Each structure stands twice: as structure tokens, then as C-alpha cells.
């Protein structure tokens, strides 16, 4: 595919953040996807692409209003990305990771309440929803959740975050995983018999 102008910029940006997410271990293999909205288009990573090493061919441009021929090779979550961009919240960037702790927590919770100051301040709460990957049902639920939240966890699947810019969506993804790790550690310590002290003002 031709890679010049805006497309070249998008490619570099997605490659950069794909690399960061991979180094954190939030995505591995062919997992996860990223997208940006610009004008009437969505630039999304390709189905089967490796976020840790994106190639120019791995960025697919599809129309925002869709569907289109190019949906066939876009991430299989293209329906979901489109639904989020069209949910009225004016999001311009989406990150989807397969973060381990957040996914583990999703088996036990309906909502993840961040315990640390920064995450609680930024994310407030993280809803957990269900639905088959790639389905219209899941797209609808995630799009609805991301109207009023920065992040959502899909049970047994992973994290979706949305923001105005990719760097912020990336930051949300990091905070979700940090929240889940912290929840896990606190719950583990509690299970060891330690008593939890409430933080008065979060």
C-alpha cells in the first residue's frame, strides 16, 4: 500500500504506540489493535498485524461511516472502533490491549474501581462488559460504556480505551492495567490475613 502524507504520519504514530504497548506486555503476538480517526476516515491496524512491529501495509484506511471493502482486512474489531467513534463522545483514538491483570480481574468483577490516587482521579471507574469478539453486540456495549468512561474491560478479552489523542488513550490503557494489578495485590494481601486500611480521600 502507498504510504505517504497523513498515512505515513499515522503509520509512525501507531507503530510507536504499538511498540510501547508491546514492551509493557499489554499485547503479544497478533493481539490488540489501535486506531485513529481523521476526517471521514478511520486508520486502523490490520487483522493479524503484530503491534510490536507494524509495517506500512498494516495500517488500513476505512470510511468512518462504513462498512467498506477494506473492512475485510482491518482489525476484526473494526465494528467496535466505528461504533465508538460514532457514539457522540468525539473520540479520536482507540487502544485495545490484552492486558493480563485487567483480563484476570474481569472474571471476578462487574466494575473495576481504581485504588490508587492517579487512576482513581483519571479513570473514576472502569465498567466490565461482555460479548463475543468482533460482534455488533459487543461493539454496541463498548461504545455505550465509552460515552461516559475513558476505559472499559471486556470480560475474558481485554481493555478498550478511547480519547482525543493516542497518547492519552495509551495512558488510560496503562492506568487500567495498573489499577488491575493493584487490585490483585491488595486482594492477595487481604487473603493472607492482612487488614486493609481505607484511604479516606481518593
Residues that bind other proteins (CB under 8 A): 1-2, 30, 46-49, 55, 57, 67-74, 76, 78, 132-134
Cβ 143 to other proteins, closest distance in Å?
18
Torsion of CA 19, 20, 26, 27, to 10 degrees: -10
Cβ 131 to other proteins, closest distance in Å?
12
Tell me which residue of 123, 134, 140 sits closest to 183, measured CA to CA.
123
Cβ 68 to other proteins, closest distance in Å?
6
Q: Which three cell numbers stand for residue 136?
A: 455488533
The nearer residue to other proteins, 121 or 132, going by C-beta atoms, is 132
The nearer residue to other proteins, 67 or 156, going by C-beta atoms, is 67
The nearer residue to other proteins, 28 or 186, going by C-beta atoms, is 28
Tell me which residue of 197, 152, 145 sits closest to 179, measured CA to CA.
152
The nearer residue to other proteins, 154 or 174, going by C-beta atoms, is 154
Query: What residues contact residue 35 under an 8 Å CB cut-off, 6+ apart?
Result: 42, 43, 44, 45, 75, 81, 93, 94
Q: Using an 8 Å Cβ cutoff, are 104 and 185 in contact?
A: no
Cβ 135 to other proteins, closest distance in Å?
8
Cβ 61 to other proteins, closest distance in Å?
8
The nearer residue to other proteins, 70 or 168, going by C-beta atoms, is 70
Q: Which three cell numbers stand for residue 125?
A: 471507574
Amino acid at each position: 500500500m502507498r504510504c505517504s502524507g497523513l498515512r505515513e504520519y499515522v503509520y509512525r504514530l501507531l507503530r510507536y504506540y504499538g511498540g510501547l504497548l508491546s514492551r509493557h506486555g499489554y499485547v503479544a503476538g497478533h493481539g490488540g489493535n489501535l486506531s485513529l480517526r481523521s476526517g471521514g476516515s478511520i486508520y486502523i491496524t490490520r487483522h493479524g498485524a503484530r503491534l510490536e512491529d507494524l509495517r506500512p501495509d498494516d495500517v488500513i484506511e476505512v470510511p468512518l461511516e462504513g462498512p467498506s471493502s477494506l473492512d475485510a482486512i482491518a482489525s476484526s474489531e473494526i465494528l467496535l472502533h466505528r461504533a465508538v467513534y460514532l457514539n457522540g463522545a468525539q473520540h479520536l483514538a482507540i487502544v485495545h490491549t490484552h492486558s493480563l491483570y485487567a483480563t484476570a480481574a474481569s472474571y471476578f468483577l462487574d466494575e473495576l474501581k481504581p485504588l490508587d490516587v492517579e487512576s482513581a482521579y483519571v479513570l473514576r471507574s472502569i465498567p466490565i462488559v461482555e460479548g463475543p469478539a468482533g460482534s455488533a453486540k459487543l461493539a454496541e456495549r463498548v461504545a455505550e460504556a465509552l460515552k461516559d468512561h475513558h476505559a472499559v474491560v471486556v470480560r475474558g478479552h481485554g481493555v478498550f480505551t478511547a480519547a482525543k489523542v493516542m497518547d492519552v488513550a495509551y495512558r488510560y490503557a496503562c492506568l487500567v492495567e495498573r489499577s488491575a494489578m493493584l487490585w490483585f495485590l491488595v486482594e492477595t494481601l487481604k487473603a493472607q490475613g492482612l487488614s486493609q486500611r481505607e484511604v479516606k480521600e481518593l
